[in-house]
Amino acid sequence: MANPDTKAGFYVVQHAATNSRNNETFSIDLTTTKGNVTVPNVSLTGRQSKLIVTDYTFGKHALLYSTAEVLTYGVFDVDVLVFYLREGDIGQFAFKGMPAHLTYKVYGKSTFGPAGTNGIGAYVYTQGPGTSVVKFSDGTIVYLLELWTAWQFWAPSTSKNPTVEADKQVFVIGPYLTRSAYIQHGDVFVSGDSNSTTTLEVYAGNSVKNIVWNGKRLPTTKTAWGSVTAKIAGTEHRHISLPEFKNWKSADSLPEINPDYDDSNWVVCDKQTTLSPTAPVTLPVLFSSDYGFYAGAKVYRGYFDGTSATSVNLTTSGGFAFGFNAWLNGQLIGGHGGDPAQHTLTSQLTFSNATLRATGNVLVVLVDYHGHDETSTAKGVENPRGILGASLSTGSFKTWKIQGNAGGPANIDPVRGPMNEGGLYAERLGWHLPGFDVSKWSRSEGPTTGLAKSGVQFYVTTFRLAIDADLDAPLGIEFSAPAGTVARLMFWVNGYQFGKAVFHIGPQLRFPVPPGIINNRGDNTLAISLWAQTDEGARVSGVKLINYGLYQTDFEFNADWRYLQPKYVGGREKYA
């Protein structure tokens, strides 16, 4: 590739087979404005690619070529160029238009010297550990960063312009994260996170004398090449205490399987046509989207009379690895645990486990939702969800009704958004929201007790955190279940649906929950739905808070996030 304006060239080097794990060393032929150049000792590790440049301008200077990768450059009182390589790899570069009598000093553990390539002022080096710096006699500075060090290199902008200019930034090396930086009266103020005691190095030009890290002025040392350094503390000796989940309250979240359940407020499925490019298998149309229900699980109730039918044929769709269950007159007649390779299932379910009635038989079908498939299936996002077809072995259904997320397309919780809730009974009634009163629930067991048969049980508890205000402590929730568990679990933190575990499919059982969703210093509500897909029931063997690390920070993770966590306000009974 070439930039037609600057004439800069960019060579992308990669293995012919992108899954190759081989380490290769080779020579490369480069075309430059000064002619063709062959550069030896280019290294490529397994599954790696490299970007090699020619005629690359940085500040008032230019590279003729470089086989070391350019990380960035900056314009300060001098031009500063930053390369990176793996430790032990060889890099070679040449300046364009630089004086032939340049001298230099090398700082660090990389070996560096002239390459002597066909009269071109080229230099070759072997990357050492950490940071090395080459200071040339014309003032140009070149940083040589080992790859792991490059991952802790930051170039925060010192302006509010989203297009960062080369002279409106500072270079920072060392911390886990640099959030921002600015210069004032000879001090460079750096905001960020650190997880280990380390040396913080900042290049910001000769006018900078001191480092202020996260609001604290540090003893600062000036380096021979003009940067400033200081020691910053880590979190090696910091600790946090995470509470156990206790004092659970629970309630049935699938009362709809009771034949006498009141579904008078449900939507009647009575459409005979659909705008979907997929034709329904049977009529009426049962596609959930045709009735205003998109995200989350859907619950259907189909009515028929008579005792002669022996089975039902169901075609259901919910996205890859979705599952469903069906109950006839309150008894489980089957379902499907899900298949990672199937987004639509056709199932013949017999009525041998159920007792038919002369009139008023009720088939309840709970269909999970795993999103839409974009282009991975024939019609992608246009694929309908829910029940695509339902037919009895003898006779026909009189009526079908559907219930999905509370309010359907109305988006009744605009803060959390339309994808946050599905059609489970607990979701529709707002049990997952902070402030919902569970004190009158009679059951006090948690998800480790679980269900003794098929169904959906809902669990709610609260917990309090008191993490030090200067700590970034990424948190998550981890679940486990006995081997062979066939169940689907979802959980909400302060009203936000933040994860789904399908134990018999997997693989994710750990779920990060960021600040703003969880309150690092304050009260929190955790709600869990557990859907047992067989009459063996289901339970979890463990649910706990986990910590992914500790980072000293100046970010206000202890902020008041209540505006992001609206509470239960009532009025949801109409969605039952």
The pLDDT tens digits for 332-358 are: 999 999 999 999 999 999 999 999 999
Model confidence band, residue 25 (pLDDT cutoffs 50, 70, 90):
very high
pLDDT at 380 over 90: no
> Taking residues 51-77, what's their average pLDDT?
97
Model confidence band, residue 18 (pLDDT cutoffs 50, 70, 90):
confident
Closest Cα to residue 488, out of 534, 526, 542?
A: 534
pLDDT attached to residue 118: 62
The pLDDT tens digits for 464-515 are: 999 999 999 999 999 999 999 999 999 999 999 999 999 999 889 999 999 9
pLDDT attached to residue 119: 65
Lowest mean pLDDT among 130-139, 148-157, 370-379: 370-379
The pLDDT tens digits for 78-123 are: 999 999 999 999 999 999 988 878 899 999 999 999 987 666 789 9
Model confidence band, residue 140 (pLDDT cutoffs 50, 70, 90):
very high
pLDDT attached to residue 117: 62
Do residues 467 and 522 lie in contact, with contact meaning Cβ atoms separated by under 8 Å?
no
pLDDT at 381 over 80: no
User: What's the chain's average pLDDT?
Assistant: 95
Do residues 455 and 528 lie in contact, with contact meaning Cβ atoms separated by under 8 Å?
no
Say how many residues make up the chain.
Answer: 576
pLDDT at 439 over 90: yes
The pLDDT tens digits for 508-535 are: 999 999 999 999 999 999 999 999 999 9
pLDDT attached to residue 382: 78
Model confidence band, residue 376 (pLDDT cutoffs 50, 70, 90):
low
Q: Give the Cα separation of 110 and 68 in Å (integer).
A: 13
- Convert 266-282 into a string of H (helix), E (strand) and C (coil): CEECCCCCCCCCCCCCC
Four-residue CA torsion sign, 454, 460, 466, 467:
positive
Do residues 468 and 240 lie in contact, with contact meaning Cβ atoms separated by under 8 Å?
yes
Do residues 386 and 360 lie in contact, with contact meaning Cβ atoms separated by under 8 Å?
no
Q: Give the Cα separation of 380 and 320 in Å (integer).
A: 12
Phi and psi dihedrals of 171, rounded to 5?
-105, 130
pLDDT attached to residue 543: 98
For the chain, how far is it from start to end, CA to CA, in angstroms? 61
pTM of the entire structure? 0.90
Q: Which amino acid is at 315?
A: T
pLDDT at 429 over 70: yes
CA angle 354, 404, 533 (to 5 degrees): 40
pLDDT attached to residue 375: 66
Q: Is the peptide bond before 284 cis (omega within 30 degrees of 0)?
A: yes
- In percent, the amount of the chain with pLDDT more than 90 equals 92
Closest Cα to residue 323, out of 372, 370, 285?
A: 370
Model confidence band, residue 374 (pLDDT cutoffs 50, 70, 90):
confident
Model confidence band, residue 250 (pLDDT cutoffs 50, 70, 90):
very high
- Within 13 Å and on the Cβ side, how many CA atoms surround 501? 25
The pLDDT tens digits for 156-190 are: 999 998 999 999 999 999 999 999 999 999 999 99
> Taking residues 372-380, what's their average pLDDT?
68
Q: Which amino acid is at 312?
A: V
